[in-house]
């Protein structure tokens, strides 16, 4: 029995190690290569020969201005999350706790829109953005994305679970239904709102299709689009590109390690519900 168990344990560990190796390799290679010179690519060189020149270039070169791209990404992501934090809970609350004419239709709109891939509307969105002169502006990257039907749906599910007595008690204390939402119910939704913000953060930060379509002026590049252009321009310079990969993914990785627990809970709860 014991021998069988240890063989099994050994098997588990070997499988884990192989998979772990495959998954860790790209990251280790990226990190290592970003610190060496082009001459040393694909050879092993000691830490004494390492250099930070690859990184330096991104902060000194005008055309490849990582701080600028970072700023663009932060502005885009920040505005989108802010909008989602206001618009989604308001709509979710109305659909969960208020009784009004037209509610069924709005709920149907939310659920049906959730199913439509964004590709479906990309061409007209591009045309509309161009026609109102929003190409290469933050308006184009943020205004259409200030709400998300999936999150309205998620928050509605949460608000349904809030006892209606809470709202009634608040009204007895002199608050209106609107006041009860902002003062009582909204703060109660804190953990749902954090989960939503984390999912929205990762989705917006990593997006490529939309920013590359609506803002292709290097001045307005976000990190992901900028990284792709660096890769195309300096394709032979692996160390430089790898430094770009590290710089552009570092913020999201730090963010992930800070909020790992909530993020994973958000993912798995969306899975169980689906």
For another protein, the binding residues in 136-155 under the rule CB under 8 A are 143-144, 146-147, 149, 152
Q: What angle do CA 43, 48, 50 make, to 5 degrees?
A: 60
Residue 224 binds another protein, judged by CB under 8 A:
yes
Helices (H) and strands (E) in the chain, counts: 14, 0
Residue 249 binds another protein, judged by CB under 8 A:
yes
* Span from 58-66, 82-90, 158-166, 189-197 in contact with another protein (CB under 8 A): 82-90
* Span from 47-55, 86-94, 158-166, 184-192 in contact with another protein (CB under 8 A): 86-94
- Evaluate the CA torsion angle 102, 104, 107, 113 in order and state its sign: negative
Q: Which structure tokens are listed for 18?
A: 């192989």
Residue 27 binds another protein, judged by CB under 8 A:
yes
CB of 59 to another protein, least distance (A): 19
* Span from 29-37, 48-56, 60-68, 154-162 in contact with another protein (CB under 8 A): 29-37
Residue 217 binds another protein, judged by CB under 8 A:
no
Q: In angstroms, rounded to a whole number, what is the distance separating the alpha carbons of residues 74 and 76? A: 6
Residue 108 binds another protein, judged by CB under 8 A:
no
* Spatial CA neighbour of 103 closest among 94, 112, 90: 94
User: By three-state DSSP, how is residue 190 classified?
Assistant: helix
Residue 164 binds another protein, judged by CB under 8 A:
no
CB of 49 to another protein, least distance (A): 19
Contact criterion met (CB below 8 Å) for 135 and 129: yes
Residue 119 binds another protein, judged by CB under 8 A:
yes
Residue 98 binds another protein, judged by CB under 8 A:
yes
Question: What are the C-alpha distances in Å from 238 to residues 144, 206, 251?
Answer: 36, 22, 21
Q: In angstroms, rounded to a whole number, what is the distance separating the alpha carbons of residues 61 and 271? A: 44
* Comparison of 33 and 72: residue with beta carbon closer to another protein: 33
Residue 87 binds another protein, judged by CB under 8 A:
yes
């Amino acid at each position: 029995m014991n021998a069988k168990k240890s063989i099994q344990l050994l098997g588990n560990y070997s499988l884990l190690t192989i998979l772990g190796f495959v998954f860790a390799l790209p990251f280790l290679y990226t990190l290592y290569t970003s610190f060496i010179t082009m001459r040393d690519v694909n050879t092993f060189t000691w830490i004494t020969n390492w250099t930070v020149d690859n990184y330096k270039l991104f902060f000194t070169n005008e055309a490849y201005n990582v701080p600028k791209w970072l700023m663009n990404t932060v502005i885009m992501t920040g505005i989108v999350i802010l909008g989602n934090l206001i618009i989604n809970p308001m709509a979710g609350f109305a659909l969960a706790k208020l009784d009004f004419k037209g509610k069924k239709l709005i709920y149907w709109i939310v659920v049906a829109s959730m199913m439509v891939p964004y590709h479906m509307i990309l061409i007209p969105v591009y045309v509309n953005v161009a026609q109102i002169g929003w190409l290469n502006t933050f308006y184009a990257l943020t205004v259409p994305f200030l709400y998300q039907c999936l999150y309205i749906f998620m928050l509605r599910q949460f608000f349904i679970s809030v006892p209606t007595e809470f709202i009634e008690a608040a009204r007895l204390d002199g608050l209106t239904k609107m006041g009860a939402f902002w003062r009582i119910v909204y703060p109660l939704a804190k953990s749902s709102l954090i989960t939503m913000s984390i999912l929205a953060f990762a989705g917006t930060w990593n997006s490529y299709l939309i920013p590359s379509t609506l803002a292709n002026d290097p001045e307005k590049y976000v990190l992901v689009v900028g990284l792709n252009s660096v890769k195309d321009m300096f394709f032979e310079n692996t160390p430089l590109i790898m430094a770009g990969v590290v710089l552009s993914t570092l913020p999201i990785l730090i963010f992930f390690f800070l909020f790992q627990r909530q993020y994973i809970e958000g993912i798995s709860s969306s899975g169980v519900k689906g």
